């Protein structure tokens, strides 16, 4: 194809995506007032109803646990979940909500393993995240300790760690260590920029993804998910993934 042909080559059309095939979500911030997610109970109810409208039946909400910013304990999270579920019931919203956490792997994380209760869901799945600046120095040790203690780690939004985009070798090594990957739906929608979108597509094309998550924080995320469109070829590849979302139901 010549240069002009490349310039005027038609882009693949986008198609709406029905997210109801997922059934369950494992990454959101619905408990109000304890992290950078929902600021109030009324906002939480809007997000919960929005998830029902998208076709979700169940959500595992995952507040941040980060030593220097979000010092959420299991007690804080469980109390918030109890209040949230009470409000959801009173509002008549047909969404089952459980709580785990999104653990930031930092200098303090290793102390938590074995020394305190870590919030998990399903078959001892635990959601973890990294810094967006550089991978944690104790990354391999953290995953080893988690797995030794019977946890099944899921790495949240690996496509957003741009330091791996040019050299994904270390990221791929995590798959060899049986770390599961959860890609954000909004990454594929371009919500975080084209580079992260391409990284998410790479992971899907190479069948490296076990979970898709909303990472729902606020109303803008909900609006984007309600207008969700992807390339038809990517939708087909998503449906061919060995996704575990339905196992939540």
User: How do the domains of the chain map onto residue ranges?
Assistant: 14-248
Residue 7 has pLDDT above 60, yes or no: no
User: Which whole number is the average pLDDT over 39-63?
Assistant: 99
Residue 6 has pLDDT above 80, yes or no: no
User: Which whole number is the average pLDDT over 19-32?
Assistant: 99
Evaluate the CA torsion angle 172, 178, 179, 182 in order and state its sign. positive
122: alpha, beta or left, given left = phi > 0 and alpha = psi -120 to 50? Answer: left
186 to each of 16, 26, 27, 79, 197, how far by Cα in Å? 13, 14, 12, 29, 8
Per residue in 163-220, pLDDT (tens digit) is 998 778 889 999 999 999 999 999 999 999 999 999 999 999 999 999 999 999 999 9
Look up the pTM and report it. Answer: 0.94
Per residue in 59-106, pLDDT (tens digit) is 999 999 998 889 999 999 999 999 999 999 999 999 999 999 999 998
Residue 5 has pLDDT above 60, yes or no: no
Per residue in 138-172, pLDDT (tens digit) is 999 999 999 999 999 999 999 999 999 877 888 99
With a CB cutoff of 8 Å and minimum separation 6, the contacts of 153 are 125, 126, 128, 143, 146, 147, 179, 180
What local confidence, expressed as pLDDT, does residue 165 receive? 85
| Alpha helices by DSSP H, the chain | 3-7, 41-54, 74-91, 109-112, 139-148, 169-176, 185-188, 194-205, 219-226, 232-239
Domain range 14-248, CATH architecture: Alpha-Beta Barrel (3.20)
How far apart are the C-alpha atoms of 97 and 141, rounded to whole Å?
Answer: 31
Virtual torsion, Cα 240, 242, 244, 246, nearest 10 deg: 40
């Amino acid at each position: 194809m010549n240069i002009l042909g490349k310039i005027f080559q038609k882009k693949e059309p986008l198609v709406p995506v029905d997210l109801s095939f997922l059934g369950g979500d494992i990454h959101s911030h619905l408990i109000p007032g304890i992290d950078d997610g929902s600021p109030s109970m009324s906002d939480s109810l809007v997000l919960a109803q929005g998830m029902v409208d998208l076709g979700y039946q169940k959500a595992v909400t995952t507040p941040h646990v980060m030593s220097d910013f979000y010092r959420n304990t299991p007690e804080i999270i469980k109390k918030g979940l109890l209040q949230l579920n009470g409000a959801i019931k009173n509002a008549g919203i047909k969404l089952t909500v459980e709580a785990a956490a999104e653990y930031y792997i930092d200098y303090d994380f290793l102390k938590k393993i074995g020394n305190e209760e870590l919030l998990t869901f399903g078959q001892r799945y635990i959601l973890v995240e990294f810094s967006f600046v550089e991978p944690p120095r104790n990354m391999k040790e953290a995953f080893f300790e988690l797995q030794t203690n019977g946890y099944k780690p899921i790495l949240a939004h690996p496509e957003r760690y741009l330091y791996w985009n040019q050299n994904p070798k270390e990221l791929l090594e995590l798959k060899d260590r049986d770390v599961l990957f959860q890609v954000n739906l909004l990454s594929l929608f371009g919500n975080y920029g084209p580079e992260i979108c391409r990284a998410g597509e790479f992971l899907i094309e190479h069948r490296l993804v076990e979970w898709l998550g909303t990472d729902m924080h606020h109303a803008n995320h909900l609006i984007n998910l309600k207008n969700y469109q992807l390339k038809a070829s990517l939708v087909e590849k998503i449906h061919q993934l060995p996704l575990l979302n339905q196992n939540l139901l």
